[in-house]
Structure formats: C-alpha cells, structure tokens
C-alpha cells in the first residue's frame, strides 16, 4: 500500500496512506468541490487529484509548507498520471495554510494539515484559513469527529437538528449536511469507529 511516512530518530508520522479511512474521510469534500478550490496540505496529492478530476472544478491550488513533500509528489509523478487537462488545473505552492491568501476568493476550501483525525478545536483553525481564502463551501478533515464529539459532550442525539445546530455554531459553510440527507448517520458510523468516548484521550 502506498503511504507517505516521515521517519525521524524519535518515531514515524504517517501523513497519508491509501487506507479506506484516509480516502473515505476526504471523499465528501472531493465529491462536492466546485470552481476555484484551495486545498491546505498536499500529502500524497490524493485529494487534489480527485478534486481536479471533477468537471465542476476549474482550478486547484494546493498549499503545502514542507518542500520535501512537494518534491516527493513531483518525483512520484502523481499528477502526471492524470489526463493532461486535469493535471493542468493543479498548482502546488510552498506556503503556510494559516497565512496563504489567494488572488481571488476560493469557491471551495478543503483543509487537511493534521496527523490525528480528531482535533477538538480544529474548526477554529479552519476559520482562520477561511478568513484568508474565502470559500462558499468548506470541508475539513475530521469535521465529523468534531461534530460527534460536541454532540456527545452536550448529551445530544446525532440527528439532523443537532448536526445543523453544531455546524451553524462552527460558523463555517460546511459541505455535508446539505449534500447528504444521511449525514448524521454517516457521522454516527464514523464516530463509532474512530472517536473514543468523550473525556478519554483520543487516538493520534
């Protein structure tokens, strides 16, 4: 299986792999990306390639802060395997997700710059990015875990009304509730597998 793993003297960090969890957890964002897309975090380029494959997407700008990751994707020729007109839509910039400002506001912002799937305050980080990029639609990696975690903490059922309220509280135009009527059930299924009970340490 292909994987992007950084090996250091103190351990390893898996940034991306072709496990079902890694791809399924980005699928919704890729499937609903439109127009000018800004993607935070290159990784293996999977999300960028899949967003660019959509005819509704005109441009994909990927922001990656690690030059070695950019070089890895260049050498592995991921985008060269796409149809040439699709590859031509993708631009990779060496920049920081928290400071990058596009020339014109994005239509879709997708953010995936984290190692663990769950981050309790991740929406705050995404609001910082969104303030810089704009984006009529936003999808961030692990958003379902944040929603499920907050529902659990509040003792609320994961139903349509709870999800709508928790998403509204995030003040981000999230892809998910409007696109998938079964989004609460999808969150439930994913959280049962990947989110530990509230108030216990979450998996890295």
Least CB distance to ligand SAM at residue 82 (A): 14
Taking the least distance from each CB to ligand SAM, the nearer of 97 and 166 is 97
Strands (E), 18-167: 35-40, 57-64, 90-94, 108-111, 137-140
d(CA 77, CA 3) in angstroms, rounded, equals 15
Closest CA to 40 of 103, 105, 107, 114: 114
Q: Which of 28, 59, 64, 187 binds ligand SAM (CB under 6 A)?
A: 64
Cβ-contact 144, 29 below 8 angstroms: no
Least CB distance to ligand SAM at residue 154 (A): 28
151 is a site residue for ligand SAM (CB under 6 A)? no
Residues near 15 by Cβ (< 8 Å), separated by ≥ 6?
A: 4, 5, 6, 43, 44, 69, 115
Taking the least distance from each CB to ligand SAM, the nearer of 25 and 162 is 25
Least CB distance to ligand SAM at residue 160 (A): 28
Q: Which of 33, 42, 148, 163 binds ligand SAM (CB under 6 A)?
A: 42
Residues near 148 by Cβ (< 8 Å), separated by ≥ 6?
A: 158, 187, 188, 190, 191, 195
- Phi and psi torsions of 38, nearest 5°: -110, 125
Count of chain residues binding ligand SAM (CB under 6 A): 21
d(CA 74, CA 153) in angstroms, rounded, equals 43
Least CB distance to ligand SAM at residue 116 (A): 10
Q: Which of 37, 44, 82, 117 binds ligand SAM (CB under 6 A)?
A: 44
Q: Which of 66, 87, 165, 198 binds ligand SAM (CB under 6 A)?
A: 66
Q: Which of 43, 119, 142, 184 binds ligand SAM (CB under 6 A)?
A: 43
Binding residues for ligand SAM, rule: CB under 6 A, are 15-16, 26, 40-47, 63-66, 69, 96-98, 112-113
């Amino acid at each position: 299986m292909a994987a992007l793993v950084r090996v250091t003297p103190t351990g390893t960090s898996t940034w991306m792999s072709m496990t079902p969890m890694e791809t399924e957890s980005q699928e919704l964002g890729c499937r609903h990306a439109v127009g000018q897309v800004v993607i935070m975090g290159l990784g293996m380029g999977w999300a960028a390639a899949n967003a660019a494959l959509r005819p509704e997407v005109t441009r994909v700008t990927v922001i990656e802060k690690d030059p070695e990751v950019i070089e890895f994707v260049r050498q592995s020729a991921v985008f060269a395997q796409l149809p040439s007109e699709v590859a031509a839509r993708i631009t990779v910039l060496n920049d920081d997700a928290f400071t990058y400002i596009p020339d014109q506001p994005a239509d879709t912002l997708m953010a995936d710059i984290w190692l663990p799937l769950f981050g309790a305050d991740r929406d705050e980080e995404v609001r910082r990015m969104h303030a810089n990029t704009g984006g009529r639609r936003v999808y961030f990696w692990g958003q379902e875990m944040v929603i499920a975690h907050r529902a659990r903490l509040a003792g609320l059922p994961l139903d349509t009304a709870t999800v709508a309220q928790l998403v509204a509280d995030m003040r981000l135009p999230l892809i998910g509730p409007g696109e998938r009527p079964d989004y609460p059930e999808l969150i439930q299924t994913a959280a049962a597998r990947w989110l530990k009970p509230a108030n216990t340490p979450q998996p890295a």
